[in-house]
Amino acid sequence: MKTELLHAYQTGKLVLFAGAGVSANLGLPSWGELISKLATELGYDPQIFSSYGSHLALAEFYRRKKGTLGPLRSWMDREWHKPGIDVGGSEIHRLIAQGNFSKIYTTNYDRWLELAHDYYGTAYTKVASVSDLVTVHDSHRQIIKFHGDFDDDTSIVLDETSYYERLNFESPLDIKLRHDVLGNSVLFIGYSITDLNIRLLFYRLTKMWGSHALAAARPKSYLFTNRPNPVAEELLGHWGIEMLVSEEDDRETALAEFLAELVQQ
């Protein structure tokens, strides 16, 4: 375990960014299943439909044809929160909920991070919109839903239009992000290195620091993965992100072991 990472964690100066891989261990539907749902509702063969564009473009097409994403969001909410899902059986969620993270950002829409905190009795404040910012208090952990929350249809970043609007990085949540990362290290877990969302975020974080007078004092940030990638390692290093690579082949086991080593220090 990196000494600087441990120090940031132990001193409450480590912001956690949790991606889809964190929720995947609960058995939630994949993006492929979501696209199949879109295709079926629109009368297309799922395999053929998936070849027509990116997930964002296909969701945009669905919204234009249906006039709204409301029913789709409702279906996602039901599928992502089926009664049989046991958050208490997720070691990853336990370690996050019981860890020393003052702020947790997530690009996931689901409520499992919040439900894990409820399960383990860890107080938190959810931040998904401007109105939530008034309830933020430093004495409570913050869970910031960076790409929206199922409780608010308008906050969901799912189709091409909402994604492009999110790229402006000028919303109140973006301003909060800039404030939160300038004095803290950031740890990314549950993200694919090839994920455009996260790569754009890396770029934006680098730009934030590059425009700051004390850029040389930027705390290190980290991305945990169990898939070595020398190309990504070089590029991320240029952006101030250090890759932490596990030798464990199973993604869920690798992340649980890494978090256990960090949290149990």
The percent of residues above 90 in pLDDT, for the chain, comes to 43
Residues 196 and 234 in one domain: yes
253 contacts: CB under 8 Å, gap ≥ 6? none
Residues 145 and 60 in one domain: no
Query: What digits encode the pLDDT tens for the residues 164-199?
Result: 777 666 777 777 887 888 778 999 999 877 776 667
Residues 71 and 96 in one domain: no
What pLDDT sits at residue 215? 57
Residues 127 and 59 in one domain: no
Residues 47 and 145 in one domain: no
Residues 22 and 38 in one domain: no
Query: What digits encode the pLDDT tens for the residues 69-94?
Result: 888 888 889 989 999 999 999 999 99
Residues 150 and 258 in one domain: yes
Residues 23 and 42 in one domain: no
**What is the domain count for the chain?**
2
Residues 58 and 179 in one domain: no
Query: What digits encode the pLDDT tens for the residues 205-260?
Result: 777 666 655 556 678 889 999 888 888 888 888 777 899 999 898 999 999 999 99
**Overall pTM > 0.85:** yes
Of the three residues 80, 98, 119, the one that is the final residue of a domain is 80
What pLDDT sits at residue 261? 94
What's the domain range around 66? 31-80
